[in-house]
Structure 1
Amino acid sequence: MGTRIVLDTNFLLIPGQFKIDIFEEIRNIMNEPYDLCIFQETIQELSNIAEKASKDKNNAKIALMLIKQKNLKSLKNSSIEKSYIDRIILSNIDSKCIVCTQDQALKRLLKAKFKGLRIITLKSKKHLALV
């Protein structure tokens, strides 16, 4: 088993929003073994977005399709938090993980809680970067 890379909901919307292959980009920037992972609550959040009339409806559908195609590893939520995915991520990871997110508030919380935690994020709406 390699480094656990946890994908946040908004990160999974990138392929639909910006036509970027996040899986190829991750493969290009990682020089160590890794496992792509999501929480079940992320799938639920994407399903909710896909069912609503919103600007991200189609992007969420693309994300759900990619989750099935790429066979991402599902992580168990061991915290009492059951609905807010940012809190679920904060409660269930450690500094050895890598988190993929676009959420500025989550990035700040992650950096404050986990010294040395790495984050993969979208740069210039064109490519991913490990920061």
Structure 2
Amino acid sequence: MKVLLDANALMVPGQFGVDVFEELERLGFREFLVARPVLIEIEALAELAGSRRDRTAARIGLLLAERCEIFEASGRADEALIAIAEKTGAAVFTNDRELKKKLSTRGVTVIHLRQRRRLEIANRKEF
């Protein structure tokens, strides 16, 4: 199964020490995708994020993105994730509450960080 990773998903290992690839594989996901606008967003965070911790987490995220297939897209990251997920049938790993709602209403599977230590497939009622 395929999963798209949002910028905040790529930052989880640097922020919480969770091995997102191991966790995604535990949930049955084997193909990891990153949309080009997400890479642009995380590159900006690596340079401009307010705290040193966030910049470091973003830099770690950039390294992790190298393990993913880059999906070319344009526009804003959220819109690209929605469009790609609908087109490919991929799930989306994000912790962004608003994006989770948008994805859920479109029938897209959403994965999120639970209790800062494991990933789970979100239940629509959680949003």
**Alignment partner, residue 18 of structure 1:** 16
Equivalence map 1:45-60=2 (5 Å): 45-55=41-51, 56-60=54-58
1:129 aligns with 2:120: yes
**Alignment partner, residue 27 of structure 2:** 29
**Alignment partner, residue 85 of structure 1:** 77
Task: For residue 122 of structure 1, give the secondary structure of its aligned residue in structure 2.
Answer: strand
Q: Distance in 1 between matches of 2:23 and 2:42?
A: 21
What is the one-letter code of the residue matched to 1:86? D
Larger radius of gyration: 1
Segments of 4+ moved more than 2 angstroms:
none
Q: Return the TM-score normalized by structure 1.
A: 0.83
Q: Distance in 2 between matches of 1:118 and 1:54?
A: 31
Number of residue pairs matched by the alignment: 119
For structure 1, the 5+ residue unaligned runs are none
Q: Distance in 2 between matches of 1:66 and 1:53?
A: 18
Give the drift of 1:53: 4.8
Give RMSD over aligned pairs.
1.6
Q: Return the TM-score normalized by structure 2.
A: 0.86
More helix by share: 2
For structure 2, the 5+ residue unaligned runs are 123-127
